[in-house]
Amino acid sequence: MLDIKLLVDVKNGTQAKKIFYDDELYQLELERIFGRCWLFLTHDSLIPKLGDFVTGYMGEDEVLIVRQPDGSVKAFLNHCMHRGARLCNAEAGNARGFTCSYHGWAYGMDGALKAVPFEQELYKGCLEKHKLGLREIRVESYHGFIYGCFDASAPSLYDYLGDMRWYMDIWMEATGGAELIGPPARSLLNCNWKTPSENFVGDAYHVGWTHAASLAALGGELSVLAGNKVLPPEGAGLQITTRHGHGLGILFNAGPGIIGEEAGAACRAWYAENRPKVAEKLGALRAKYYGSHFNSTIFPNNSYLWGTNTFKVWAPRGPHQIEVFTWGIVEKNMPEDLKRLVTSGMIRSFGTAGMFEADDSDNMESMTHLNRGTQIRKGTLNSQMGMGTEIEDPDHPGIISHSAVGETSYRGFYRAYQEFLSANNWDELRANDETWKDEILGAKAGGQK
C-alpha cells in the first residue's frame, strides 16, 4: 500500500528510491500527473499548413495533433471509436481526414465521424454518428509551443507555466520567436521518466565528472570543467524552482560552450548583435541572461537545453523505460547557415547518438534498474546540496539560489511531484498556491529537522 507522504521529504531534501521502480506508483503517476498536467505536443513550425498533422504521446496515450481550417490546432486520442484500433499510423504528414484501417470508419480533420461503410444497410439507423467523434484534448499554445491537457479543471497553460514564463521568454520570444527543427529523433532508454527530468531540471553537479571525456574531446570554454578540476566561480549562475515543479539552472554567458568552435563563434556574434534588442524588449537583467546556458524541465517530462539547443520529451513506457523525442531549437530570425550549425552541434552533443546523451544514459539506466534489488529499493536519494541558501529575490520570479551548482530545482521538482500525487483534484492543488514556497524556504542546511 502506497504512503505518498513517505515518498518525498522536502524539508530534509530526500526522496524514496522506490519512486524510480514501483509499478503501483507508476499507475498513480499516469492518473494524477500525466492526467492533470500540461504536456508538450508539438510546435507551430512543425505543422504550419492546413491538414498538417503529427502524432505523439501524453503519458502512454497516443494522440493526433492536426492544423485546422481556421488556423487553430486540435488534438485527439489516436484511436478509432468503433473497436479501438489505431486511427493514424503515420508519425507526421498532411491529410484531409483520417480513415481507420480496420473497418474503414472515416473522420474529418475536426475529429467528427464522417462516414461508416454500409451504414444504412448494417446499422439501419441506430448509429448516432454525432456522438462518435474522436475524443478531443484541451490544447493551448505559448509562443508557438503547443501543449495538451486531459483535465478540464486545470489552469490555463499560461498560468500553469507561471513564473517560468519570465525565463522562457528570454529565448522563446525576445528576438522574434523560436522554432523546432524536426522531425524528432526517437529512441528508447531503459530508465524511469523522472531520471532525465530531474537531470535536466538543474543538475550542473555532474557535468565535470560524467562528461569529462566529452568535454575534453570537444574543447571550448567549458572544457575547463572536465574531471572536476574547477567549479564555476561564485556568481557564475543561478538555480531556480517555480510553483508547479518547473525549474532551471543558468550558467551565465556559456550558451555556445559545447556546440563546436565554428558554431560557438557564430552564436556569440549573434547573441552580441541581438542583446540590445532583448534589453529593449525585456529589460537589462534578462538581456544579461540571453546567451547563457539554460538547463531546464517543464514539469513533468519536457526538458530543454538552451545554448546546446536541444528540446526533449521523455515519454514513459512503464516505470522502467521511456521513449525519447529530440528536436533542435533555433531562433526564427537566425540565418539559415547558423541554424544548420546550431542543429549539427546539438546532434553531436545531445542527439540520439550524441556524446553527452550517451554519458547520461548509462547513469539514468543504473539509477532505475538497480532498484530491482529489494535492499537498494529501501534506500533514499539525496538532494541536499545548497539547502538553506534559497531566497525570494525581488528581481527573479520563483525561488532562487545564487549558485551555478546546487539542487534547489531538484527539491522543487519533487515537492511538486508529491503534491500532484497527494491531491485529489486541481482545487486541492490551488489551495497551496500561497504556501508552496514555505516548504522549500523552510528546508535547513544539512537536512536538519
Indicate the length of the chain as a whole number: 449
DSSP classification of residue 63: E
What rounded mean pLDDT belongs to the chain?
94
Domain-embedded: residue 268:
yes
Average pLDDT over residues 146-150: 98
Q: Residue 153 class from Cβ within 10 Å (0-12 exposed, 13-18 middle, 19+ buried)? A: exposed
Q: Is 366 in a helix, a strand, or coil?
A: helix
**Do 218 and 265 belong together in one domain?**
yes
My answer on whether 233 and 84 are in the same domain is no
Residue 225 pLDDT more than 80? no
Q: Are residues 103 and 198 located together in one domain of the fold?
A: no
Which residue carries 538552451 as its cell? 306
pLDDT score recorded for residue 449: 36
Task: Specify whether 246 is located in the same domain as 311.
Answer: yes
- pLDDT tier for residue 155 given thresholds of 50, 70 and 90: very high
- Residue 220 confidence (pLDDT): 67
Does 23 reside within a domain?
no
Calpha distance 221→37 (Å, rounded): 37
Q: With 70 as the cut, is the pLDDT of residue 448 above it?
A: no
Mean pLDDT of 322-327: 98
CATH number for the domain spanning 276: value is 3.90.380.10
Domain boundary among 93, 108, 142: 142
The amino acid sitting at 25 is L
Counting the structural domains of the chain, the total is 2
Looking at the domain assignment, is residue 15 inside a domain?
Answer: no
Nearest-CA neighbor of 19 among 6, 31, 32? 6
**Does one domain contain both 169 and 133?**
no
Helix, coil or strand: residue 93: strand
Q: Whole-angstrom Cα distance, residue 123 to residue 118?
A: 8
Whether residue 64 lies inside any domain: the answer is: yes
Is residue 148 one of the residues assigned to a domain?
no
Judge if 128 and 167 occupy the same domain. Answer: no
| Structural domain includes residue 353 | yes
Cβ-contact 221, 233 below 8 angstroms: no
231 vs 356: which has the higher pLDDT: 356
Q: What is the mean pLDDT of residues 68-89?
A: 98
**Residue 427 scores a pLDDT above 70:** yes
| Residue 315 counted as domain residue | yes
pLDDT tens digit string along 165-198?
Answer: 999 999 999 899 999 999 999 999 999 999 999 9
Task: Give me the residues paired with residue 187 across strands.
Answer: 324
123 and 197 co-located in one domain: no
Do 346 and 435 reside in the same domain of the chain? yes
Confidence band of 447 (pLDDT split at 50, 70, 90): very low
The catalytic site residues sit at 103, 203, 206, 211, 360
Shared domain check, 355 and 274: yes
As a whole number of angstroms, the distance between CA 115 and CA 271 comes to 53
Residue range 20-71, pLDDT digits in tens: 999 999 999 999 999 999 999 999 999 999 999 999 999 999 999 999 999 9
Torsion sign over Cα 153, 312, 318, 299: negative
What pLDDT sits at residue 214? Answer: 83
Q: Pick the residue with more confidence: 113 or 254?
A: 113
Query: CA-CA-CA-CA torsion for 23, 312, 304, 166, nearest 10 degrees?
Result: -80
Claim to verify: residue 251 and residue 106 sit in the same structural domain = no
Give the number of other Cβ atoms within 10 Å of residue 125's Cβ. Answer: 7
Name the phi and psi angles at 435, rounded to 5. -120, -5
Please give the pLDDT value at position 254: 85
Shared-domain flag, residues 187 and 109 = no
Question: Which string of b and e fits 65-74 if b means at least 16 CB within 10 Å?
Answer: bbbeeeeebb
Residue 256: predicted pLDDT: 78
CA torsion angle for 311, 138, 31, 399 (degrees, to 10)? 50
Task: Over range 257-266, report the average pLDDT.
Answer: 80
CATH number of residue 130's parent domain: 2.102.10.10
Phi, psi of 183 (to 5 degrees): -70, 160
Structural domain range at position 51: 39-142
Residues 6+ apart with CB under 8 A from 82: 100, 102, 103, 105, 132
The per-residue pLDDT for range 352-395, each reduced to its tens digit, is 888 889 899 999 999 999 999 999 999 999 999 999 999 999 99
By the 10 Å C-beta count (0-12 exposed, 13-18 middle, 19+ buried), 434 is classed as exposed
Residues 108 and 186 in one domain: no
Of 82, 110, 142, the one marking the end of a domain is: 142
User: Higher pLDDT residue, 398 or 253?
Assistant: 398
Residue 426 lies in a domain: yes
From residue 154, give the alpha-carbon distance in Å to each of 138, 162, 434. 10, 13, 17
Percent of the chain scored above 90 by pLDDT? 84
